[in-house]
């Protein structure tokens, strides 16, 4: 019994902390929330994950995709406390990171009767097949707001 307990502890010490410390290669953030505070917090967490080694992949859908417009609403550009950041400002910084992706949902632009020319630089249009693959990739974590 003592040998079994020691073997179990040894196995846990090898796999438990090692698994807990692994950083996913990609953090997929699906953002649909219209509230600026929620949008900003999603960007803050994506940026913090990037600083810890994860490649951010942000998918903006519905009202949240408006922050990616060249002519974004004031709610997306207005500075918020405590650091006077805006959802759009932080998203722009994330989009500029190596390996980062920021995309709008494939149905966003057609539903507006527009094309990608209305999007800010650094933002693309998600391909549903590629986005689905990103969501189920074994090296990814998914968050949704």
Query: How far is 59 from 82, CA to CA, in rounded Å?
Result: 25
- Does any domain span residue 128? yes
Confidence category of residue 7, pLDDT binned at 50, 70, 90: very low
Domain CATH for 116 = 3.40.1260.10
- Does any domain span residue 64? yes
- Does any domain span residue 31? yes
Lowest mean pLDDT among 4-18, 47-61, 102-116: 4-18
Task: Please state, for a pLDDT cut of 70, what percent of the chain lies above it.
Answer: 84
Residue 2 has pLDDT above 70, yes or no: no
pTM of the predicted structure, to 2 decimals: 0.83
List CB contacts of 103: < 8 A, sequence separation 6 or more: 57, 58, 59, 60, 123, 124, 125, 126, 131
**Structural domain for 37, as ranges:** 25-144
pLDDT at 24: 73
- Does any domain span residue 37? yes
Residue environment code for 58-78, b if the CB has 16+ CB neighbours within 10 A, otherwise e: bbbbebbbbbbbeebeebbee
Q: Could you give the number of structural domains in the chain?
A: 1
Query: How far is 36 from 111, CA to CA, in rounded Å?
Result: 22
Confidence category of residue 19, pLDDT binned at 50, 70, 90: very low
Residue 145 has pLDDT above 60, yes or no: yes
Burial (CB count <10 Å: 0-12, 13-18, 19+), residue 126: buried
Model confidence pLDDT, tens digit, residues 28-82 = 999 999 999 999 999 999 999 999 999 999 999 999 999 999 999 999 999 999 9
CA dihedral 131, 136, 138, 142 (to 10 degrees): 80
pLDDT at 49: 97
């Amino acid at each position: 019994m003592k040998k079994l307990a020691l073997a179990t502890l040894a196995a846990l010490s090898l796999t438990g902390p090692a698994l807990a410390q692994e950083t996913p290669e990609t953090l997929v953030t699906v953002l649909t929330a219209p509230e600026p505070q929620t949008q900003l917090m999603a960007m803050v967490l994506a940026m913090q994950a990037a600083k810890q080694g994860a490649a951010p992949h942000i998918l903006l859908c519905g009202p949240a995709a408006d922050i990616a417009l060249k002519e974004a609403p004031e709610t997306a550009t207005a500075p918020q406390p405590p650091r006077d950041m805006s959802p759009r400002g932080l998203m722009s910084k994330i989009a500029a990171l190596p390996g980062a992706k920021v995309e709008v949902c494939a149905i966003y632009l057609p539903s507006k009767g527009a094309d990608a020319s209305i999007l800010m630089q650094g933002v693309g249009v998600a391909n549903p097949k590629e986005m689905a693959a990103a969501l189920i990739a074994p090296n990814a974590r998914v968050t949704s707001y």
